[in-house]
Amino acid sequence: MNASHDIYLHRIHAALKKLGADPLLVEQRRLPVHREAQTLTPIGLGTDGRDKFATPATARAWAAMQNAAWADGVALILHSAYRGFDYQLKLITAKLARGMPLDEVLRINAPAGCSEHHSGRALDIGSPDTPPLEESFEETPAFAWLAERATGFGFRLSFPRDNRYRFLYEPWHWYFRGVRGPR
């Protein structure tokens, strides 16, 4: 570990403590730490009508994957992409303010500092025929296409059922790891 990592981890622990969570939750659940991306590029509008951003490599892979799906008659739409530490913390506090229990919130949202979205490499993907960020996405042709083809573009499903981090199943959440050879 280096000093920069220790400072970031301290920031994560402080945020968890402020929320009323065990500051050692990251270590207890063995959650990976994700730093905020330093270089981002626009990748289009999300379903909320706002510009979304990702790392340049993720942006290129997303464009190629979206175009390939379109060529196969499948529409992939973007719900969300990069979000920073502070935004992640705001998402969590908003859910708490609406009365959602903390343990439930932290099964839905990664603690600030542990979200793959910080890296600029995570995308929440959907299809026009399902509501955003709902498990019903797994029943769509878009999900079937992703399950079969996304790895060829460097993306993997981050949170399958019964995942090791104890997050809820998220069929819409895909993380860009990079391409390791010809498609």
In this predicted model, what pLDDT tens digit does every residue of 2-44 receive, in sequence order?
A: 888 889 999 999 999 999 999 999 999 999 999 999 999 999 9
CATH code of the domain in which 8 resides:
3.30.1380.10
Residue 3: what pLDDT? 81
Range of the domain at 152: 3-176
Count the alpha carbons within 13 Å of 24 in the hemisphere toward its beta carbon.
1
Question: Is the predicted pLDDT of residue 181 greater than 60, yes or no?
Answer: no
Residue 2: what pLDDT? 81
Mean pLDDT of 95-119: 97
Residue keyed to tokens 């819409």: 172
Model pLDDT for residues 60-86, shown as the tens digit of each residue: 999 999 999 999 999 999 999 999 999
How much is the pTM? 0.92
In a domain, 79, yes or no: yes
Encoded tokens for 119: 């890296």
Q: DSSP string covering 51-77, please?
A: EEEE-HHHHHHHHHHHHHHHHTT---E
In a domain, 183, yes or no: no
In a domain, 181, yes or no: no
Residue 183: what pLDDT? 44
Total domains in the fold of the chain: 1
Element spanning 32, H or E: none
In a domain, 182, yes or no: no
